[in-house]
Amino acid sequence: MLKRILVSLALSTAAAFAVTPARMIERRGATNVFPNPPTTITLSSPITVKAGQSFTPPQAYTRYERGYGACRDGEGGQADAVFVLEEGATLNAVVIGKNQMEGQCTINHVYFEDVCEDAITIKQSSGVSYINYGGAKGASDKIVQHNGGGKVVINSFYAENFGKVYRSCGNCKTQFKRSVEINDSWAVSGSTLVGINTNFGDTATIRRQKALNVRTICQKFIGNNLGNEPTNNGSGPDNISCLYNNFDVTS
Ligand SMILES: *[C@@H]1O[C@H](CO)[C@@H](O)[C@H](O)[C@H]1NC(C)=O
Ligand SMILES: *[C@@H]1O[C@H](CO)[C@@H](O)[C@H](O)[C@H]1NC(C)=O
Ligand SMILES: *[C@@H]1O[C@H](CO)[C@@H](O)[C@H](O)[C@H]1NC(C)=O
C-alpha cells in the first residue's frame, strides 16, 4: 500500500525533474557531510523506478528503509533492496540502505548511511550507469557491485569504512569486460578503492581521487565464472588495467 502511494508520487513528480543529463554534471569535490533526513519512510517492499522514469522524494533526502532485519542474512539481493531501478531510471536526493540497478541508470545525491553488505548492485547488460555525488558509510563488503556489463561512472562520491568502493564481479556466472571511471571522489578508511578482473579486460580510470587510510587503490584479480574465489594479480597503476598515475591520488 505504502509502496503504491510512493510510486505514484514518484511518477507525478517525474515530469518536473526531467532526466538529469548525467554528462553535464558540475565537477566538484565529494562532501563528507551527509544530509539530515527530514523524515523516514519504512517500506514493506522495494520501490521500482520504471524504465526512463525519475524518482525524487517530495521532501529532499527523505530516508527510505526496509525496517528491522532486512540486512540480517547478508547479501539479500533484490528482495531487500529499497529501490529497484529499471533501464534508464534516475533516482535523486534520497537517503537509503540498499539499492539495485537493473539497467543503465543514474543516481544523484543518494546517501547510504549504513550499508548492509553491498549498497548498489549494477545489473545492466551494457551501457553506462552514473553515480553522481552522494556517499556511503559502513559497507563491510562492497559499495558498488558491478555484476552486469558496460561501464560505471562515479563522480564526486564519498566513501567511508568500506571493503571495496567498486568491484567488477569476480565470479559471476556470466562475465563481461567491465570498466569503471571514478572522478573527484573521496575515500576514507577502507581496504580497496576498486577491484577489477585483468583476465576479462576490465579497466579502471581514476582522476582527482582523495584517499586516506585506504590500503589498495586498484587491485587486480583473475576472475572466473565458476563461483570460485578470484585470485590476486597485483595492484597499482600499469597503463593497461589500472589507468591512473600515483599523482591522481592524494590524501
Ligand atoms: C571522468 O574522468 C575521465 C578520465 O579522466 C574522463 O574521461 C571523464 O570525462 C570524466 N567525467 C566527468 C563527468 O568528469
Ligand atoms: C596479470 O597482470 C599482468 C600485468 O598487468 C598481465 O599482463 C596479465 O595478463 C595478467 N594475467 C591475467 C591472467 O589476467
Ligand atoms: C603511463 O603512460 C604515461 C604516458 O606514456 C606515462 O607518463 C606514465 O608514467 C605511465 N604510467 C605508468 C604507471 O606506467
Residue 13 included in any domain: no
Spacing, Cα 89 to ligand 2 middle (Å): 36
Q: Mark 60-78 as b/e (b = at least 16 C-beta within 10 Å).
A: ebbbbbbeeebbeeeebee
The reported pTM is 0.85
Residue 30 included in any domain: no
Give the number of other CB atoms < 10 A from CB of residue 114. Answer: 13
Q: Residue 162 and residue 121: Cα distance in Å, rounded?
A: 15
Spacing, Cα 23 to ligand 2 middle (Å): 32
Q: Range of 193's domain?
A: 44-70+78-243
Between 74 and 110, whose confidence is greater? 110
94-98, 110-114, 223-227: the lowest-pLDDT one: 94-98
* pLDDT confidence band for 2 (50 / 70 / 90): very low
For 67-94, write each residue's pLDDT tens digit.
Answer: 655 454 444 566 678 888 999 999 999 9
- Domain total of the chain: 1
Spacing, Cα 243 to ligand 1 middle (Å): 12
Residue nearest to atom 10 of ligand 3 (CA): 239
Residue 207 included in any domain: yes
Among the bound ligands, the one closest to the CA of 240:
2
Question: Which residue's entry shows cell 554534471?
Answer: 25
Residue 19 included in any domain: no
Sign of CA dihedral 161, 126, 84, 68: negative
90: domain CATH number is: 2.160.20.10
Residue 21 included in any domain: no
Residue 115 included in any domain: yes
- pLDDT score recorded for residue 103: 62
Residue 98 included in any domain: yes
pLDDT of residue 198 exceeding 60, the answer is yes
Residue 4 included in any domain: no
Ligand 1 in contact with 155 (CB < 6 A)? Answer: yes
pLDDT of residue 105 exceeding 70, the answer is yes
What average pLDDT score do residues 9-23 get?
34
pLDDT of residue 141 exceeding 70, the answer is yes
